[in-house]
């Protein structure tokens, strides 16, 4: 390594997203005397606000982007370094940043998040959405667009197709139903009419009005223009910021160039065959297009169902890959099949004194039968918090056990303006044919699905204001035999809370 170690910290955390910041907070409160460094590529850090423990495992919170000075003021022993980590040297316990500085560590936690797994790299007509910059780019391009194609069937696609207005949306999904990462076909059927109906007026005002392309007010201390410049100087222009999260679209107008409100057509069971520019299309003389269509759009997408659509651009909402390249080269990290850094039940990677948390890692301990990893905000917070506790316990030589939050999967979110709660094996994940489903559905109001295995509740999907989450969480956690109750379990005329008191 060319440079000299500038300073050695007891704890170094890489990444100012929710996992990294929560880890820093945990370490700094547990061992206030320890010197901690947070090294992050993005200009802002993410902070959890309005945290609410809804029940034993369900939690809700808002997320805000903040200047890092807020964190440094709170924790005097914390130093925030705004530069990307360029290389890691596990042998010498040091990291080198893009601006050429070298820092030593006693214990390191990698929280570098993920980046969009795009359909194709380097195609200017294929966009991914991950951080503030990519959301702004999307908004800018959308404002001039008449038609876009959204590919993917997970969280981002579900949000976009509902939110985008003033632009025709073609939604290409691999599956027979929408929202495969969160729902089964029954829930999809419940949700589909919302795509055709007008959107209800938003009740709540925007909580995080930051995603704007307007020039900042004079004298504003944190602005995107200034941030972008400083990021270019310190970290290189391609370094990712933290992932967006709950309600990211509430602060930006997702409006296209047309007068129409929402217009979405779903193309089921298809993938992308090819993406062409207009010129490439004319050259290849594609037979599948009507001749008058050729040349009228900047880009064309051919699907495996034989259809080709012209559009202004394609959104690749096709998942994330853990952010490990290229700065982890030259080390021997064990990786999981999804590319994540394998971590054990103490959030430790295969490299000595290196921990990982959030989207960058893959939980490789033996999971509780009711938990699975999903790359979500809540899990980033829980993992960051637990990694901090493990790092502190290890330096203090204290024992520590896997936290209770990893006992039961839980997620609260909103899709198509409905509250959505997912618990346990909500889609019967890994249960094989040996499970039973109970469903209650009232069109336009609620969809309740319970997954039973051996007569015990192992998962649930609750859409709408069902008020069942706490009771179901208890029933899942206590694994009571529900066979005697049969379908009565979902009888709307029974107050289930009283039933199990």
Q: Which of 98, 192, 266, 374 binds ligand NDP (CB under 6 A)?
A: 374
Tokens of 357: 């948390």
**Quick one: tokens of 441?**
């559905």
- 14 lies in the site for ligand NDP, by CB under 6 A: no
Minimum CB distance to ligand NDP smaller for 157 or for 188: 157
Question: DSSP string of 139-184?
Answer: HHHHTT-SEEEEE--SHHHHHHHHH-BSEEEEEE-SSSSS-TTT--
Residue 424 interacts with, from ligand NDP, ligand FAD, none (CB under 5-8 Å by kind): none
Token duo for residue 20 = 């990294």
Q: Which two tokens stand for residue 120?
A: 């194709």
Q: Which positions from 340 through 359 interact with ligand NDP, judged by CB under 6 A?
A: none
The CA distance from 156 to 342, in Å, is 25
Residue 154 touches which of ligand FAD, ligand NDP, none (CB < 5 to 8 A by kind)? ligand NDP
* Binding residue for ligand NDP, selected from 19, 31, 156, 314, defined by CB under 6 A: 156
Helices 155-163 and 185-196: crossing angle in degrees, nearest 10, is: 20
Query: Judged by CB under 6 A, does residue 240 bind ligand NDP?
Result: no
376 binds ligand NDP (CB under 6 A): yes
154: contact with ligand NDP by CB under 6 A: yes
> What are the C-alpha distances in Å from 435 to residues 2, 174, 188?
59, 25, 20
15 binds, among ligand NDP, ligand FAD, none (CB under 5 to 8 A by kind): ligand FAD
Q: How far is the CB of 438 from ligand NDP (least distance, A)?
A: 24
**Angle at CA of residue 96, ends 131 and 332, nearest 5°:** 85
CB of 352 to ligand NDP, least distance (A): 29
Query: 203 — alpha (psi -120 to 50), left (phi > 0) or beta?
Result: alpha
271 forms part of the interface with ligand NDP (CB under 6 A): yes
| Region binding ligand NDP by CB under 6 A among candidate stretches 151-159, 301-309, 402-410, 469-477 | 151-159
Dist. CA 460–CA 476, nearest whole Å: 9
Of 17-25, 101-109, 173-181, 337-345, the window that binds ligand NDP (rule: CB under 6 A) is 173-181
How many angstroms separate the CA atoms of 223 and 217, rounded? 9
Considering only CA atoms, give the Rg of the chain.
24
**Rule CB under 6 A: which residues touch ligand FAD?**
14-20, 39-42, 84-85, 111-114, 129-130, 155-156, 240-246, 248, 323, 327, 358-359, 375-378, 380, 413
| Residue with Cβ nearer ligand NDP (175 or 353) | 175
- Binding of ligand NDP at residue 322 (CB under 6 A)? no
DSSP state of 408: B
Closest CB to ligand FAD among 242 and 318? 242
Q: Smallest gap, in angstroms, from Cβ of residue 497 to ligand NDP?
A: 27
Judged by beta carbon distances under 5 to 8 A according to partner kind, the member of ligand NDP, ligand FAD, none in contact with residue 43 is none
Could you give the CA distance from residue 22 to residue 34 in angstroms, rounded to a whole number?
16
Residue 73 CB, shortest distance to ligand NDP, in Å, is: 31
Tokens matching residue 237: 């222009």
Member of 59, 65, 131, 159 binding ligand NDP (CB under 6 A): 159
Question: d(Cα 408, Cα 368) in Å, to the nearest integer?
Answer: 7
Helices first, then strands: H and E counts in the chain? 10, 26
Give 43 or 310: the residue with its C-beta nearer to ligand FAD: 43
Write out the H or E segment, with its range, that includes residue 20. helix 18-30
Residue 31's nearest CA partner among 354, 402, 398 is 398
Select from ligand FAD, ligand NDP, none the partner in contact with residue 150, using the beta carbon and a kind-dependent cut-off of 5 to 8 Å.
Answer: none
Token pair 């207009």 is at which residue? Answer: 278
The entry of ligand NDP, ligand FAD, none near residue 157 (CB within 5 to 8 angstroms by kind) is ligand NDP
- Phi first, then psi, for residue 66 (nearest 5°) are -140, 160
**CB-nearest residue to ligand NDP:** 154
Which of these ranges, 104-112, 202-210, 231-239, 313-321, lies near ligand NDP under the rule CB under 6 A? 313-321
- Cα–Cα distance for residue pair 469/55, rounded to 1 Å: 8
The CA distance from 244 to 257, in Å, is 24
Closer to ligand NDP by CB, 155 or 384: give it. Answer: 155
Of 319, 322, 388, 464, the one binding ligand NDP (CB under 6 A) is 319
Closest CA to 424 of 409, 434, 403, 435: 409
Contact status, residue 440 vs residue 492, Cβ threshold 8 Å: yes
> Running DSSP on this structure, what letter comes out for residue 434?
-
Q: Contact between 324 and ligand NDP (CB under 6 A)?
A: no
Q: Residue 317 binds which one of ligand NDP, ligand FAD, none, with CB within 5 to 8 A depending on kind?
A: ligand NDP
Per rule CB under 6 A, is residue 318 in the interface with ligand NDP?
yes
Q: How far is the CB of 24 from ligand FAD (least distance, A)?
A: 11
Residue 275 pairs with which residues in a beta bridge?
301
Among 8, 79, 181, 222, binds ligand NDP (CB under 6 A): 181
Q: Is 323 in the site for ligand NDP (CB under 6 A)?
A: no
Q: 62 or 273: whose CB is closer to ligand FAD?
A: 62
Question: Per CB under 6 A, does 180 bind ligand NDP?
Answer: yes
């Amino acid at each position: 390594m060319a440079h000299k170690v500038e300073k050695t910290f007891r704890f170094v955390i890489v990444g100012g997203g929710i996992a990294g910041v929560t880890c820093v907070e945990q370490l700094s409160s547990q061992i206030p005397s320890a010197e901690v460094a947070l090294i992050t590529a993005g200009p802002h850090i993410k902070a959890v606000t309005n945290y609410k423990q809804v029940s034993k495992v369900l939690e809700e919170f808002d997320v805000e982007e903040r200047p890092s000075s807020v964190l440094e003021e709170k924790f005097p022993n914390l130093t925030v370094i705004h530069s990307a980590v360029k290389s890691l040297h596990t042998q010498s316990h040091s990291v080198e940043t893009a601006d050429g500085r070298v820092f030593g560590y006693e214990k390191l936690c990698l929280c570098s998040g993920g980046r969009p797994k795009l359909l194709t790299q380097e195609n200017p007509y294929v966009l991914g959405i991950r951080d503030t910059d990519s959301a702004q780019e999307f908004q800018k391009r959308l404002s001039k667009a008449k038609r876009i194609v959204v590919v993917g069937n997970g969280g981002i696609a579900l949000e976009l197709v509902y939110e985008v207005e003033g632009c025709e949306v073609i939604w290409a999904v691999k599956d027979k139903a929408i929202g495969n990462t969160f729902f089964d076909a029954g829930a999809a059927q419940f949700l589909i009419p919302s795509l055709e109906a007008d959107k209800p007026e938003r009740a709540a005002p925007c909580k995080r009005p930051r995603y704007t392309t307007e020039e900042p007010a004079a004298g504003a201390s944190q602005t995107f223009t200034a941030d972008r410049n400083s990021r270019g100087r310190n970290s290189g222009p391609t370094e990712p910021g933290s992932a967006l999260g709950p309600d990211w679209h509430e602060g930006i107008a997702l409006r296209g160039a047309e007068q129409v409100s929402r217009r979405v057509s779903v193309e089921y069971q298809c993938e992308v065959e090819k993406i062409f520019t207009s010129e490439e299309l004319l050259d290849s003389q594609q037979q599948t297009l009507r001749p008058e269509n050729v040349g009228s759009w900047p880009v064309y997408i051919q699907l495996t169902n034989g259809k080709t659509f012209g559009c202004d651009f394609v959104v690749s909402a096709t998942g994330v890959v853990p952010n490990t390249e290229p700065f982890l080269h030259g080390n021997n990290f064990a990786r999981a099949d999804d590319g994540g850094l394998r971590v054990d039940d103490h959030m430790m990677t295969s490299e000595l004194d290196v921990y990982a948390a959030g989207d960058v890692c893959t939980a490789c301990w033996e999971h509780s039968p009711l938990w699975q990893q999903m790359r979500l905000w809540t899990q980033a917070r829980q993992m960051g918090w637990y990694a901090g506790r493990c790092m502190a316990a290890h330096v203090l030589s204290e024992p520590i056990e896997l936290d209770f939050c990893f006992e039961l999967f839980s997620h609260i979110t909103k899709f198509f303006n409905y509250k959505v709660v997912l618990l346990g094996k909500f889609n019967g994940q890994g249960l094989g044919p040996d499970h039973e489903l109970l469903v209650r559905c009232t069109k336009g109001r609620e969809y309740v699905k319970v997954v039973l295995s051996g007569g015990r509740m192992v998962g649930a999907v609750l859409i709408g204001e069902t008020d069942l989450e706490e009771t179901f969480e208890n029933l899942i956690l206590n694994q009571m035999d529900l066979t005697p109750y049969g379908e009565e379990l979902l009888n709307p005329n029974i107050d289930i809370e009283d039933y199990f008191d």
